[in-house]
């Protein structure tokens, strides 16, 4: 009996390694013309590889989040004694993670922050448009901490607090659940606070037209009125070209409205150019009602979008903007 390896080299003309492998598989499986099946499998691989990549790339952000969580656990373990006596225990960890995320923003997106001078010295409520992921806000927070030594707290959706392993990350950054009283209290203490009124619904179901999806939400405006602080509008250019969602599928929208969990698939993770623009503050006016302040804030955010975003958004154009050699003016 002749072995598979011997049969590959038998005869006047030796076989190539690929032909040899095909021969061995055919002998082992007993399938005739197995090379035709393998050719078809390779063809399918090439066809679906780009599709697989665009769904896998957003996982890089998940890896970065859990890398941050791991670093926080290491930091906490190495500073257990300091935790018992220090009020600013997480300051070093925040600087560490800010450096990590800022590096990611610079390398992957050529991230730029414009209009930081519009952020007041004291407390303020930053209101921003929510992309498919919160990565642009994290880049903003990191750059602000590095450049201005200012930290910006944020209000997150309730489901974020149920994500496995995220508790230490949320505790370290002082992320708020969002009750009005808690937000007002943080602002009265002099904190800078950020909120996306559209929340998860805007993240999942807005699109390349950059439509603001706030519904009837105006609680953020009442928070600013009660705390007597200005509202600072903020928008990140090309944020929906970096990662997109399949939120246009009606059944997914209906499912979200029933269970309120972000199960809509996302795709992308493209290294598009990201620029965050901070608009001029809307000062506190005691005569303004929550409805009026909401309308005023929405108009200011829409003005930022109109000024800095080409509608509809285009992934290829956003990728080409990475090759611009100069930073855009504020």
What secondary structure does DSSP assign to 246-268, as a single string?
-TT-HHHHHHHHHH------EEE
Is 130 part of the annotated catalytic residue set?
yes
Mean pLDDT for 63-82 is 88
pLDDT confidence bin for 262, thresholds 50/70/90: confident
* Domain ranges for the chain: 48-73+90-321
Query: In this structure, what DSSP letter does residue 155 have?
Result: B
CA dihedral 142, 146, 152, 155 (to 10 degrees): 10
- Return the higher-pLDDT residue of 56 and 157: 157
Catalytic position from the list 130, 153, 308, 326: 130
pLDDT score, position 325: 65
Give SS3 for 325.
coil
pLDDT at 3: 44
Q: Is the CB of residue 110 less than 8 Å from the CB of residue 88? A: no
Q: How far is CA 165 from CA 24, 69, 79, 320, in A?
A: 47, 7, 19, 37
pLDDT of 59 higher than 90? no
Cα separation, 3 vs 255, whole angstroms: 57
Work out the number of other CB atoms within 10 angstroms of the CB of residue 151.
Answer: 17
Enter the tokens of residue 200.
């998860």
Q: For residue 277, give the 3-state DSSP assignment.
A: strand
Encode pLDDT of 159-191 as tens digits.
899 999 999 999 999 899 878 999 999 999 999
User: What's the pLDDT score for residue 12?
Assistant: 42
- What is the CATH T-level fold of the domain 48-73+90-321, as seen in this structure? Glycerol-3-phosphate (1)-acyltransferase (3.40.1130)
In the predicted model, what is the mean pLDDT of the chain?
87
pLDDT for the residue numbered 60: 87
If you average pLDDT over residues 38-51, what whole number do you get?
Answer: 61
């Amino acid at each position: 009996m002749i072995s598979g390896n011997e049969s590959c080299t038998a005869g006047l003309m030796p076989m190539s390694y690929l032909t040899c492998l095909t021969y061995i598989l055919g002998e082992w499986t007993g399938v005739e013309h197995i090379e035709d099946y393998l050719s078809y499998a390779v063809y399918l691989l090439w066809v679906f590889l780009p599709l697989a990549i665009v769904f896998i790339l957003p996982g890089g952000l998940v890896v970065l989040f859990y890398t941050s969580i791991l670093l926080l656990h290491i930091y906490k373990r190495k500073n257990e004694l300091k935790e018992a006596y220090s009020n600013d225990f997480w300051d070093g960890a925040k600087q560490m993670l800010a450096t990590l995320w800022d590096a990611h923003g610079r390398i992957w997106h050529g991230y730029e922050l414009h209009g930081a001078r519009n952020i007041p010295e004291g407390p303020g409520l930053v209101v921003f448009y929510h992309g498919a992921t919160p990565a642009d806000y994290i880049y903003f927070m990191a750059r602000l901490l590095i450049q201005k030594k200012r930290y910006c707290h944020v209000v997150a959706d309730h489901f974020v607090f149920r994500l496995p392993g995220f508790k230490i990350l949320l505790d370290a950054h002082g992320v708020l659940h969002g009750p009005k009283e808690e937000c007002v209290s943080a602002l009265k203490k002099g904190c800078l606070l950020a909120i996306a009124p559209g929340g998860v619904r805007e993240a999942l179901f807005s699109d390349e037209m950059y439509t603001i999806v706030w519904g009837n939400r105006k609680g953020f405006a009442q928070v600013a009125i009660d705390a007597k602080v200005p509202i600072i509008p903020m928008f990140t250019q090309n944020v929906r070209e970096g990662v997109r969602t399949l939120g246009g599928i009606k059944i997914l929208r209906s499912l979200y409205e029933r269970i309120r969990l972000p199960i809509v698939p996302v795709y992308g993770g493209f290294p598009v150019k990201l620029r965050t623009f901070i608009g001029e503050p809307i000062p506190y006016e005691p005569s303004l009602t929550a409805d009026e302040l909401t309308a005023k804030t929405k108009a200011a955010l829409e003005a930022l979008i109109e000024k800095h975003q080409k509608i509809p958004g285009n992934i290829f154009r956003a990728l080409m903007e990475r090759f611009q050699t100069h930073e855009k003016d504020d």
